[in-house]
């Protein structure tokens, strides 16, 4: 009777070599004492042992993929990939090189147990000679293959172990090198068992390996059919070594899942970059030069792209118009609405800028007619630099902050509703008389919201930050804005991911 063939369990390939849960009994004993032959294993014991190994492997993969799934930033996910992969293949150090094959970025090189200087040393090795080089070099012209290292769950795309047959595949960027053939490759992986005895290894690679103290490497391509080629992950061994078949199998399954997760984060990163670029293009690239006043602006865009904006434009009679505002929502729609409102406000300011209430009234009517589903806050100030006089009106916007040698206070403005909230918006204007050397700071609510504090505490934090501007910095509106930004949002919150945009517009009067 044929022995029963174990079936697949929970999608795990039954051909995976079992882990060493069962230890073979000794064949003899010291002194030549005969040892009775071991009893044959009980029926089903081998299958149970295999099942226990598969369950253990499934549990390990589940825990690692769960940890990876909790990452929502690209750098964090790359670090988690390196840590999990090192545990699976039994390495201590490694690096991951993210270079999407489409050339659209983003590109990252992240190390595990490797400092920036170590990564710099690796960059001195010719790219094609590095362990990850074959996987991140561009395809040859005319190559239409799209590498897919795995063709089914748990099985590698090629059963052949012939290094020569894999060393010439164009889909991985032409890595038919002596070192690759000597090391032995399979679809999606590259093994250097001993870098110091391997034939054909680039001398610079050997020199850098000796300097950094690693003697072997194991590389996996970051590629799936849906995600395409994203780059490669490399793990480094201190001594000549290579992972066994079981470790390689588990690492391959994990990296396949990680590549899909990384592809999603790459797309998020690209979208964020596009939104930031679009928002920046819709905002003034240069602030005007007007006698009697000096300007500076700071802008931080959230990951989704928001609708916060600012503007400064010269007006007739040597006047200056200043504006800040925020459109509700995020993404391309909010950015487009922000661009339309800003352009419209510029036109209204030129026609009737000396009356800020009329400017915002016209803007509110436009918003109700063209963006009925949106609301916006806005503040427009008509400045006369020669007189240091400011006439302003706000629609649901926070009051400006006056920062000077003898006072730091919020300007007195009337409470009003945001644009688009009422059938007909109307609010009285307010006047501010600035002193020589004082800076008027306009800002959006994102500055307050990013603190995470209640509104009253956020305003108190902003006031304290403005009051603490060193005297040596008060002559520079850019330095004033930077100090306020860093003080209100410490610990890198001014650059950290946040759903809120931040805008500061500072005007210092001579």
CA nearest neighbour of 305 among 333, 281, 285: 333
Q: Which has more confidence, 340 or 301?
A: 340
Query: Can you say how many angstroms the Cα of residue 490 is from the centroid of all Cα atoms in its chain?
Result: 20
Q: Which has more confidence, 463 or 43?
A: 463
In whole angstroms, give the CA distance from residue 185 to residue 165.
9
Max mean pLDDT among 4-8, 176-180, 472-476 falls in 472-476
Fold (topology level) of 283-509:
Phosphatase 2c; domain 1 (3.60.40)
CA nearest neighbour of 442 among 503, 376, 355: 503
8 Å CB contact between 335 and 279: yes
Boundaries of CATH 3.60.40.10 in the chain?
Answer: 283-509
**How does the average pLDDT of the chain come out, rounded?**
80
For the stretch 123-156, pLDDT in tens is 888 887 876 776 665 443 333 333 333 333 333 3
Boundaries of CATH 3.30.450.40 in the chain?
Answer: 51-272
pLDDT at residue 217 is higher than 50: yes
- Which range is least confidently modeled, 191-205, 207-221, 274-288? 274-288
Q: Which has more confidence, 81 or 451?
A: 81
Please report, rounded to a whole number, the percentage of residues in the chain having pLDDT higher than 90. 46
For the stretch 89-103, pLDDT in tens is 999 999 999 999 888
Q: Which has more confidence, 165 or 192?
A: 192
8 Å CB contact between 64 and 84: yes
**pLDDT at residue 416, as a whole number:** 83
Please state the rounded mean pLDDT for residues 173-178.
36
In whole angstroms, give the CA distance from residue 98 to residue 106.
7
Max Cα-Cα span within the chain: 113
For the stretch 370-385, pLDDT in tens is 888 889 999 999 999 9
316: confidence class by pLDDT, cuts 50, 70, 90: very high
21: confidence class by pLDDT, cuts 50, 70, 90: very low
CA nearest neighbour of 380 among 346, 414, 335: 346
Please state the rounded mean pLDDT for residues 211-231.
91
Domain range 51-272, CATH class: alpha beta
pLDDT at residue 431 is higher than 80: yes
For the stretch 111-125, pLDDT in tens is 999 999 999 999 888
Q: Which has more confidence, 173 or 350?
A: 350
**pLDDT at residue 145, as a whole number:** 39
**pLDDT at residue 169, as a whole number:** 35
DSSP 211: H
- Which range is least confidently modeled, 123-132, 229-238, 487-496? 487-496
**pLDDT at residue 29, as a whole number:** 42
Q: Which residues pair with 189 in a beta bridge?
A: 186, 220
Q: How many helices (H) and strands (E) does the chain have?
A: 13, 18
Query: Can you say how many angstroms the Cα of residue 506 is from the centroid of all Cα atoms in its chain?
Result: 30
**pLDDT at residue 105, as a whole number:** 85
**pLDDT at residue 98, as a whole number:** 92
Q: Which has more confidence, 20 or 350?
A: 350
Cα 234 to Cα 64, 171, 289: the distances in Å are: 18, 19, 53
**pLDDT at residue 142, as a whole number:** 35
Pair type for strands 108-112 and 93-98: antiparallel
């Amino acid at each position: 009777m044929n022995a029963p063939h174990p079936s697949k369990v929970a999608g795990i390939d039954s051909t995976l070599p079992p882990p060493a849960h069962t230890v073979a009994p000794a064949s003899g004993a010291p002194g030549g004492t005969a040892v009775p032959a071991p009893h044959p294993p009980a029926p089903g014991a081998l299958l149970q042992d295999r099942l226990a190994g598969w369950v253990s492997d499934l549990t390990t993969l589940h825990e690692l993929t769960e940890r990876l799934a909790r990452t929502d930033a690209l750098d964090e996910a790359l670090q988690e990939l390196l840590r999990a992969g090192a545990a699976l293949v039994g390495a201590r150090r490694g690096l991951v090189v993210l270079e999407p094959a489409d050339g659209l970025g983003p590109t990252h090189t992240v190390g595990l147990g490797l400092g920036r200087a170590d990564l710099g040393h690796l960059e001195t090795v010719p790219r094609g000679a590095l362990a990850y080089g074959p996987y991140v070099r561009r395809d040859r012209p005319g190559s239409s293959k799209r590498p897919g290292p795995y063709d089914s769950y748990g099985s590698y795309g090629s059963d052949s172990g012939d290094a020569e047959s894999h060393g010439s595949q164009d889909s991985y960027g032409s890595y038919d090198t002596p070192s690759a053939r000597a090391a032995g490759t399979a679809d999606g992986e590259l093994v250097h068992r001993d870098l110091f005895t391997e034939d054909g290894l680039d001398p610079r690679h050997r020199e850098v390996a000796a300097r950094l103290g690693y003697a072997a490497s194991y590389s996996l391509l970051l590629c799936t059919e849906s995600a395409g080629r994203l780059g490669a992950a490399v793990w480094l061994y201190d001594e000549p070594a290579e992972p066994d078949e079981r470790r390689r199998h588990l690492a391959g399954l994990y990296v396949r899942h990680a590549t899909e997760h990384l592809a999603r984060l790459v797309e998020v990163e690209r979208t964020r970059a596009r939104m930031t670029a679009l928002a920046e293009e819709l905002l003034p690239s240069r602030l005007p030069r007007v006698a009697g006043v000096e300007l500076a602006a700071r802008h931080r865009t959230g990951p989704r792209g928001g609708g916060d904006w600012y503007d400064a434009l010269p007006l007739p009679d040597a006047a200056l118009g200043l504006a800040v505002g925020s459109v509700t929502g995020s993404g391309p729609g909010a950015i487009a609405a922000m661009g339309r409102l800003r352009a419209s406000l510029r036109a209204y300011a030129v026609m009737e800028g000396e009356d800020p209430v009329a400017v915002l009234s016209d803007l509110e009517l436009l918003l109700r007619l063209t963006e009925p589903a949106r609301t916006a806050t806005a503040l427009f100030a008509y400045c006369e630099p020669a007189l240091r006089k400011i006439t302003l009106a706000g629609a649901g916007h926070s009051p400006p902050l006056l920062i000077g040698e003898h006072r730091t206070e919020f300007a007195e403005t009337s409470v009003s509703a945001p644009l688009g909230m009422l059938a007909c918006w109307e609010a009285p204007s307010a006047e501010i008389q600035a002193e020589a050397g004082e800076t008027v700071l306009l800002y959006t609510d994102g500055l307050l919201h990013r603190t995470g504090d209640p509104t009253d505490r956020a305003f108190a934090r902003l006031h304290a930050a403005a009051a603490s501007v060193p005297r040596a910095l008060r002559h520079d509106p850019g330095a004033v804005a930077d100090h306020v930004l860093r003080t209100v949002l410490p610990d890198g919150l001014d650059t950290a991911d946040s759903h809120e945009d931040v805008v500061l517009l500072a005007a210092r009067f001579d």
